[in-house]
A and B are shown apart, each in its own frame.
Chain A
Amino acid sequence: MKRYWKFIVPAGIVVVVIAVLVVSLNSSLVYFNTPTELMSQEPGDARLRLGGQVVAGSVTDTTGGVAFEVTDGREAIDVFYVGAPQQLFQEGIGVVVEGTWDGTLFHSDTMLVKHDETYSTDEGEYDPENPYGDGSDQA
């Protein structure tokens, strides 16, 4: 019987440690806030991550950055991103932007593109008038 205890005791300790870690880390394991969650948060200087899809037709290039809206299907947040957008940045793609929320505008200096799990070969045509379009409106 003794040799079973030699296994069960360390196993139990490890399971408890992992459970405590996962429970306590649960909030920091959430990588970003959705626009709906951000709406209910107090504006301030705290750095946050906002994730969602880039609203079609909302992208405007300005000097020094790009302005667009990020949505989760319910709420949309205005984002101003300072710098050149990521290579894959376009309308309809998922993004995670890092920055501060002042209650009306999300000021960001870091952009990550969150591509989804779908892959296809539907090639859209590049339109110089609409460089961030996903090409789907082109015939």
Chain B
Amino acid sequence: MQSQVRIRRWPWVAIALSLAVAFTLSMISPADSVQGDLVRIMYVHVPAAWLAYTAFFVTFVGSVAYLVTKNLRWDRIAAASAEIGVYFTGLALSLGMIWAKPTWGVWWTWDARLTFTFIMFFVYLGYLALRRTTDDPIARASRSSVLGILGAIQIPLVHFSVLWWRTLHQPPSLIRPDGPAIQDSLMLAALIVGVLAFTIVYVALMVKRIELIHLEEKRLAVEQSIRRPVAGEAVTAPELGAS
């Protein structure tokens, strides 16, 4: 066990810089001819959804690697990534609702894309809950690895739901056989830079979260090494029948 956890500061700088660039581009890019300024929600909604997929895919890789190598390092990566993924799934869902109300006319509807994203959100919340069911790091890692692998089935299910079923949600604009469906170069740049910026945010958050896991483990080790008196130890039982 290492004695000192390195606290890095560059992740905060990276997050601030990349978000500033992405925000500027999303504001100076032109309005859409049909949706007007509403299109700007896309520059955050799409990167958030992309991050959710990436994060859960990393959880999947970490879970497989843990089961193969039994090295807890991979479990830490899987756990940190799942936490970030749940956050960004929630963000994609909320931003999607904010976008849906003025464009579709409703906050929410049960089409295939929305339904599967909703289920994915709760399955990974369940993953985080499962990690809290035991203090034993080995049992925790093996149990959550199984869910981390099974949960990954949902990544293609959510992504391709708009192509496999007839949905209200539109199909992908960026990754499609005919190339991006966005003609304007500044709009396209805003979307791609948004995705890249969120990817940098993800890496930065992963670094900070894994630092935090190391600090938590250190604190736990210190706590367990201190011998604490058992409650009532100071009290001596009265002797009966002493004369």
Contact = CB atoms under 8 A, between A and B. Distances in A.
Contacts of A24: none
A80 B39 CA distance: 29
**What size tier do the contact residues of chain A reach?**
20 to 34
B187 interface: yes
Nearest to B182: A119
Contacts of B134: none
Interface in B157-206: 161, 165-168, 170-173, 176, 181-184, 187
B111 to A, nearest CB: 4
B36 to A, nearest CB: 9
A120 B168 contact: no
A122 interface: yes
A90 B181 CA distance: 20
Given A7-B146, A31-B168, A116-B170, A121 B30 contact: yes
Contacts of A111: 105
A128 B119 CA distance: 45
Given A11-B146, A31-B165, A121 B105 contact: no
**What size tier do the contact residues of chain B reach?**
35 or more
B183 A120 contact: yes
Give the secondary structure class of B's interface. loop
A18 B39 contact: no
Contact of A29 (B67, B102, B165): B165
Contact of B184 (A11, A51, A117, A120): A120
B168 A117 contact: no
Interface string B36-66: 0001001000000000000000000000000
Nearest to A34: B166
A119 B32 CA distance: 6
A123 B55 CA distance: 38
Nearest to B116: A29
Interface of B: 30-35, 39, 42, 67, 102-106, 109, 111-112, 115, 146, 149-150, 153, 161, 165-168, 170-173, 176, 181-184, 187
8 contacts: A7-B67, A11-B146, A29-B112, A87-B103, A90-B34, A114-B168, A117-B171, A117-B172
Given A26-B165, A112-B168, A113-B105, 11 more contacts: A11-B150, A51-B166, A87-B103, A88-B103, A90-B34, A115-B104, A117-B181, A119-B32, A119-B39, A119-B173, A120-B183
